[in-house]
Amino acid sequence: MKADPQAVLTGTHFLDGDKACCEGAIAAGARFAAGYPITPATEIVERFASRIPSVGGTFIQMEDELAASIVLQGAVWGGAKAFTVTSGPGFSLMMEHIGYAAMTETPCVFVDVQRGGPSTGLPTLPAQADMMQARWGSHGDYEIIALCPNSPQECFDLTIRAFNLAEEFRAPVMFMMDEVVGHMTEKVVIPAADQIEITPRRFTHRSKFEYLPYGTNGDMVPDFVPTGQGYKFHMTGLTHDERGYPNMTPQAQDQLVRRLQKKIRAAAARITFFEEEGTENAEVIVISYGITSRVAQRAVELGRARGLKIGKFRLITAWPFPDEQIRRLALHAKALVVPELNLGQMVREVERAAAGLCPVISVPHAGGGVHRTDDILSALVEVMP
């Protein structure tokens, strides 16, 4: 279906990433947001609080991030599309409810505008050090979807995609911004509402007599049930069967947890978005994401000007990780170079996917700023055969 024209701010704007993310959420149909003030993410819900009363929806500022990350799930079961936004310390507090959303198959979006950590770290300065937390932060086995925008335009476009993926897979989606992307202002083109494709919630067509809350229709994603319509369903964070009833057996656990993982993994080829350029004949390929991908791009251009054969690969989807694409690159590249604003997180995934086919070089940065172009360039030059 298409976006609601009353809600979409069609036009050409000069917006920062935080505001663009908010507009993306509204365009995607988000009518409920919850937040707790935190730098550098809070501008997203500040804008939502200002915009939503004249769109038709609710913003609530909760008492903490624990509350924010669960009130939104109540709203989802009440029928809304909902999201919350935070940064590192708040993201840490939200971990339990990311697992709850995964387990109960509650479609929702968690935005993390990453700042330097650990702990309070650098509230106003960037990092990309929550990438593994986004994947593994909640306890237990589950699969996650995470997207990484590198511009305000992408904050708009990919937020819509995040909501759509959440609905399609009935899963929480992590929207992994960083402080630079969140606070950077650039041109953002918001298309007409009829140009914006929205994934509606998969409400069941079955009657209450033949409906199973966690029964699937072949694609491993159960249809959603509306609250207040007489279905009298039960949902729980306990291991449950197709009826949604607790079932404390290894068999039920195996069936449920494998399905939660498989519904996303099986679709990985379709939902791992990436940008690839000049990798065919490249000797060295730089792999990056978020704001670092722009600095890396600059390094690639400077390197090419010197005659070096450098390719670039940008992760737009961080999770599920594009294993196959990275393996393909590793098959012919002499080396893969991975700059990121952390001391080596996604580089481990690149190493795993490359499986020893070529060297993988980390270019770490502890955060608080971005790499100097030269730091990436010299790493590229150094590994040139």
Whole-number Å distance between alpha carbons of 92 and 109: 15
Residue 216 or 236 with smaller CB distance to another protein? 236
Residue 366 one-letter amino acid: A
Whole-number Å distance between alpha carbons of 109 and 45: 13
Whole-number Å distance between alpha carbons of 50 and 254: 45
Residue 238 or 268 with smaller CB distance to another protein? 238
Rounded to the nearest whole angstrom, what is the least distance from the CB of residue 283 to another protein in the complex?
A: 22
Residue 198 or 266 with smaller CB distance to another protein? 198
Residue from 82, 160, 165, 354 in contact with another protein (CB under 8 A): 82
Helix (H) or strand (E) holding 112: strand 108-116
Q: In what order do the strands lie in the sheet with 310-315?
A: 274-277, 310-315, 284-288, 335-340, 360-364
Q: Does 14 bind another protein (CB under 8 A)?
A: yes
Whole-number Å distance between alpha carbons of 351 and 66: 34
Rounded to the nearest whole angstrom, what is the least distance from the CB of residue 277 to another protein in the complex?
A: 13
Whole-number Å distance between alpha carbons of 256 and 271: 22
Whole-number Å distance between alpha carbons of 342 and 140: 24
Q: Does 195 bind another protein (CB under 8 A)?
A: no
Residue 14 or 136 with smaller CB distance to another protein? 14
Residue from 120, 195, 229, 251 in contact with another protein (CB under 8 A): 229
Q: At residue 82, what are phi and psi to the nearest 5 degrees? A: -140, 155
Q: Which of residues 247-306 bind another protein (CB under 8 A)?
A: 291, 294-295, 297-298, 301
Whole-number Å distance between alpha carbons of 336 and 195: 37
Cα Dmax for the chain = 70
Q: Which of residues 307-366 bind another protein (CB under 8 A)?
A: none
Q: Does 210 bind another protein (CB under 8 A)?
A: no
Residue 125 or 148 with smaller CB distance to another protein? 125
Residue from 10, 55, 215, 364 in contact with another protein (CB under 8 A): 55
Residue 283 or 375 with smaller CB distance to another protein? 375
Q: Which of residues 103-132 bind another protein (CB under 8 A)?
A: 122-125
Q: Does 187 bind another protein (CB under 8 A)?
A: yes
Rounded to the nearest whole angstrom, what is the least distance from the CB of residue 297 to another protein in the complex?
A: 5
Residue 228 or 307 with smaller CB distance to another protein? 228
Rounded to the nearest whole angstrom, what is the least distance from the CB of residue 351 to another protein in the complex?
A: 26
| Cβ-contact 126, 115 below 8 angstroms | yes
| CA 204 to chain CA centroid, nearest Å | 26
Q: Which of residues 57-76 bind another protein (CB under 8 A)?
A: 57-58, 60, 62-64, 66-68, 70-76
Residue 4 or 283 with smaller CB distance to another protein? 4
Residue from 21, 32, 41, 351 in contact with another protein (CB under 8 A): 32
Residue 15 or 145 with smaller CB distance to another protein? 15
Q: Which of 194, 199, 161, 203 is nearest to 4 (CA)?
A: 194
Q: Does 186 bind another protein (CB under 8 A)?
A: yes
Rounded to the nearest whole angstrom, what is the least distance from the CB of residue 352 to another protein in the complex?
A: 28
| Cβ-contact 151, 186 below 8 angstroms | yes
Residue 31 or 358 with smaller CB distance to another protein? 31
Residue from 92, 132, 201, 357 in contact with another protein (CB under 8 A): 201
274 pairs with which residues across the strands? 315
Whole-number Å distance between alpha carbons of 30 and 173: 14
Question: What three-state secondary structure class fits 282?
Answer: coil
> Interface with another protein by CB under 8 A: which range of 8-16, 85-93, 320-328, 332-340?
8-16
Pairing of strands 317-319, 310-315: unpaired
Q: Does 56 bind another protein (CB under 8 A)?
A: yes
